[in-house]
A = this chain, B = another copy of it.
Amino acid sequence: MPHAVVTLAIAARRFNVNSLNMSWKRRAREGAYHHGNLREALIQAARELIKEKGPAGFTFADAARSAGVSPAAPYRHFRDREALLADVAREGFGRFEAMLSTGWNGGKPDPITAFHNVGRAYLAFARAEPAYYAAMFESGLPPDLNADLRAAGDKAFAVLRTAADGLVALLPAGRRPPAMMMSLHVWSMAHGIASLFGRGDSGRRALPMSAEELLESEMLIYLQGLGFPQK
């Protein structure tokens, strides 16, 4: 009945969607749809909701509401809630890989320092992006739900593998541990510390030292055990 109000509301919505769309166009050159880049907006909304309430605490309808569209709209882009979650995880693995790569930085200034930087980058990601991290590792998604997700996870792990390869090459041929094993060891250390202590989101356990210090000392002792020179 109050036509003016309804019209204003619609106008406001259109305006918001369009201005968002313009900023997206500027940021990422992904194609824009005729009412805005809803696909990406839903992923952002899901991230926000996961950050607030955990990976199990958001619904398809929630994401639609946050993105300002009707509850039926997400079905144009995602088969179901799990498909949306998988896309959040896939995108997260991509950023994760980038951060780890930056940490490794081709093994510079030297492989041991770079290896520690990878560890720091791991924790920094878990702390800065708890929503991505939860979607990637704690959402209960089967890791090979789809080939893209699987590949994204593998690519991120490959950075650890590359770093281990670079480190192993420092040792004389007779005393080289399997790089695959080393990378799994480091992954488990970093993941263990990140999920027990180093999360940016909810109430975690208190510690006598920072998560970063804990991981650094753990890696230091581990590398010493493998016969690497200190520093």
Q: Which of A40-48, A95-103, A164-172, A187-195 contacts B (4 or more CB under 8 A)?
A: A187-195
Whether, in the assembled complex, A11 has its beta carbon less than 8 Å from a beta carbon of chain B, the answer is no
Closest chain B residue, CB of each to CB of A178: B208
- Provide the bound-state CA to CA distance between A223 and B142, in Å: 34
- Provide the bound-state CA to CA distance between A184 and B181, in Å: 21
* Centre residue among A180, A203, A217, A221 by max chain B CB count within 10 A: A221
The reply to whether A214 and B143 contact each other, CB–CB distance below 8 Å, is no
Task: Given A187-B196, A192-B193, A193-B188, check contact A181 B225 (CB 8 Å).
Answer: no
Copies of this chain present: 2
The reply to whether B56 and A214 contact each other, CB–CB distance below 8 Å, is no
Residues 112-136 of A, flagged 1 when their CB comes within 8 A of B and 0 if not, give 0000000000000000000000000
* CB contact list, A177-226 vs B, under 8 A: 177, 180-181, 184-185, 187-193, 195-197, 202-205, 207-209, 214-215, 217-218, 220-226
Whether, in the assembled complex, A94 has its beta carbon less than 8 Å from a beta carbon of chain B, the answer is no
The reply to whether A218 and B185 contact each other, CB–CB distance below 8 Å, is yes
Interface of chain A, helix or strand or loop or mixed?
helix
- Provide the bound-state CA to CA distance between A177 and B138, in Å: 33
List residues of chain B with CB within 8 A of the CB of A192. Answer: 187-193, 195
| Interface size of A in residues (CB-CB distance below 8 Å) | 43
Whether, in the assembled complex, A140 has its beta carbon less than 8 Å from a beta carbon of chain B, the answer is yes
Whether, in the assembled complex, A71 has its beta carbon less than 8 Å from a beta carbon of chain B, the answer is no
* Centre residue among A187, A218, A226 by max chain B CB count within 10 A: A218
A227 to chain B, nearest CB (A): 9
Whether, in the assembled complex, A144 has its beta carbon less than 8 Å from a beta carbon of chain B, the answer is yes
A85 to chain B, nearest CB (A): 12
* Centre residue among A144, A195, A207, A215 by max chain B CB count within 10 A: A195
Whether, in the assembled complex, A57 has its beta carbon less than 8 Å from a beta carbon of chain B, the answer is yes
A167 to chain B, nearest CB (A): 13
Which single member of B137, B185, B225 contacts A214 (CB below 8 Å)?
B185
Besides A140-B202, A181-B209, A189-B189, 9 other A-B contacts (C-beta < 8 A): A137-B196, A177-B221, A184-B207, A187-B196, A188-B196, A191-B192, A191-B195, A192-B192, A222-B225
